[in-house]
Structures are given as C-alpha cells and as structure tokens.
Amino acid sequence: MKIVIVGAGFGGLRLARKLNNKPGFEVTLIDRFNYHQFQPLFYQVATAGLDASNISFPLRKVFHKSKNVRIRLSELKQVIPAENKVITDSEEIEYDALVLATGADTNFFGNAEVEKNAFPMKSTLEALQLRYRILENFEKALTVTDPDELQKLMNIVVAGGGPTGVELAGALAEMKKYVLPKDYPELDFSKMNIYLLEGTTRTLGTMSEKSSAQSRKYLERLGVTVMTGKLLKEYNGNTVLLNDGAIINTATVIWAAGIKGNIPGGINKELIARGNRIKTDRHCKVPGHDNVYAIGDLAYMETSAYPNGHPQVAPVAMQQADMLAHNFKMIERRSRPDKMYEFEYKDKGSMATVGRNLAVVDIPKPKLHFGGFLAWMIWMSLHLMLILGVKNRFFVFCNWLYNYITYDQNLRLIFKHKNKSAL
C-alpha cells in the first residue's frame, strides 16, 4: 500500500512513525523542510531563549533504520485525485492513499498592508527573523537622536491574545526586565512599551475564565500593556491604527492573530470550510474521495462535541494520526469495516506560560485549574517530553536551567547575509 504523507508536522510525522517498518506499507513523507519544527517553542527562539537547532529535528535521522519510509524535500503544487498522484516542484508521485497534513499558516484576513509589514511566527525561520529585527532595533536606537523615532524603535506590538501572543509578550517583558538593560545600558528601558492587542474581551479565550484572568494579571505584573477589545486595523511599518482610532508608533508588529489552512491546488473549493480547512468525515477522509485524507490543522471535522471543528492544536493532529494508522492497517489486512475507528478527540487539557514561574493549566476531566509555579512546572515537563531527540531535550533543559539561574539568555546573535558582489 503506497501512502503519501504531505507535511512533517505533529500529525504527518506521527503517522509516518506509526507506519514505520510495518509490513505492507510503502510511505513517502513530503515536506518543504528537511526537519520537524517544534512550534510551541517558536517564541523562545524569537526571544533568544533557545537556539533554532534545539527545537528542530532532521527528518532523515528519525527514519535512519526505516525500511519503508522515504523522505522527499519538495513543495506540493497540486493534487490530482482522479489519477491518484501528486505533483511537487520536483516530481510526480503516485499513491494508493494520500494524507494531507500541511498544517496552517498565518492568516492576515486579507489585509495586504499588515501582511507586508508585520512579522508572522509560523516557522523557525520566521522566529529567527523576528529575533534579528528586535535586536537590530535596539542597535539602531543607540544612535537615534529624534525622541519620536527612538520611541518607535522601543515599542513592540503583539497582535493576538491567544497562547502564542501571551507567551511571546511575557517573554519580551522578561527580556526588558532582566536582559536588555545589561546589553544596552545607554537606553532607558522604562520607556519601552510592549502592547498585547486582543479583539475579544479576554486573553486566552479558548481556556477557562480563571486562566484568562490569571494570564492578564501575570502579563500586567510583568509590565505588558494588555488591550482587550482592540483590533489592529492598519499598519504601514511605522504606525498602528486601532479600530477605535487610537495610534501606536512602532517599528515592530508581531502578528499572532489567526491561522489558515495550507490547501494545495487540486482540492475542490466546495470542500473548503471556514478557516481555509478541508472538510472530512469521522475517518478523516475527504468527502467524494475514497483514498484522500486530511489531518491536523488542515482538517475540518464536525462532531457533536465540536460542531465548529476541532481546535488547531498538536494533540488533535497526533490523535488523528493514531486513528488513521490503525485504519490503514485494517484496510491493508482487508478487515471488516466495523473494525475501522471513528475519530473522537480526547481533550487532556490546555496550557500556556506567561513567564518565569508563571503559567496556567486547565484539565477538563477531572475539572482542575492550576496557576503559578506548579502550572509552570507542568508546562515545562510536558513540552520537554514532546521534543524530538534526547540531545534536543538535553540542550533545551540546559538552556532553561541556565536562564533560570542567571536570568539571562546567551543567544542574542544577529546573522546577516553579505552580498557577494560586495566582496
């Protein structure tokens, strides 16, 4: 059974590993990058807390001993279901079953100006670019004499009060408090402002009201200006215009306000649901196709518990991959249809960290809530276990321990590409 998996995120990689060295399967895993990215820690790369290599793991190393999984470093261009093949930027690949696990990208909601000027954070590369921009702004601030220009360089706006926005704003606030004044003693960091914009009435809107209230309290304690009920309407690279007419001058806007599915060419538009996600049935199968599946952030599956689709988080993708692996084994063995699993998401909880000793955790069954140091320890332990590779876990733990003891990060490096013509 030739299975093509497009995307090596949490869902795609999990499925490939579940089918690894299983007789009866030939698996091709396609991705634009030759490494798996641990997205929950992008914000720590952006704020110089971790090196990019600590949260990235080479795909080929995962399958060193594999007899049936092959990697293709390509970008998917089109799916041709009628011919059971996909077209990438380098070749055509035939399949018996196709699994689309291409994940999601930043959603700017059609605002081209914001897309051009704001910084997204949906890849390791984007996290590094954001880090360079933040550091370069402070380097420029040292030589600026115009007070308005100086304030613009020292203001940072984070758009979106979900987990990514909250965690990023908290990390930036800790940099402002513990690190940046030592790096740039000439600058007055009491003038540095970190704004967190959220269009709804509370941060962490998908979590409990306790978590929402605590996260806001923690952020404000760290010095973040939390602005709920505020939407970023325009940003031209220098000035943010809010929905109420307020203006914030800033050289850096970080966009964490929405995501949309990465849908390849060849998918019928009638199958696309809101959020640019592909409709699926309870087996993750795309309607109208017997052998095309979608999992993870890309999949839109309506159930009684989730009438608007499942949350776009890693546990959903991994559980769907587990279900699909089981069903593929049943198909390969030509087992009875009643042995096929239907997907039912088991929500084990949600969490977010705000800063040092500050986090929130919600557990649905039994209904529990944790905040502060205990929640922070739970958050760290879980994320450490989920990182691929013993070496990566070791280095992440060492970085966290070093940062905790010294109140410092040692990765504030700016790498620039030098034009060859200038040599």
Which residue among the candidates 26, 94, 115, 167 is catalytic per the annotation? 167
Residue 234 annotated among the catalytic residues of the structure: no
Q: What is the 3-state secondary structure (H, E, C) of the chain?
A: CEEEEECCCHHHHHHHHHHCCCCCCEEEEEECCCEEECHHHHHHHHCCCCCHHHHEEEHHHHCCCCCCEEEEECCEEEEEHHHCEEEECCCEEECCEEEECCCEEECCCCCHHHHHHCECCCCHHHHHHHHHHHHHHHHHHCCCCCHHHHHHHHEEEEECCCHHHHHHHHHHHHHHHHHHHHHCCCCCHHHCEEEEEECCCCCCCCCCHHHHHHHHHHHHHHCCEEEECCCEEEECCCEEEECCCCEEECCEEEECCCEEECCCECCCHHHEECCCEEECCCCCECCCCCCEEECHHHEECCCCCCCCCCCCCHHHHHHHHHHHHHHHHHHHCCCCHHHCCCCCCCCCCEEEEEECCEEEEEECCCCEEEECHHHHHHHHHHHHHHCCCHHHHHHHHHHHHHHHHHCCCCCCCCCCCCCHHHC
Q: Which residues participate in catalysis according to the annotation?
A: 167
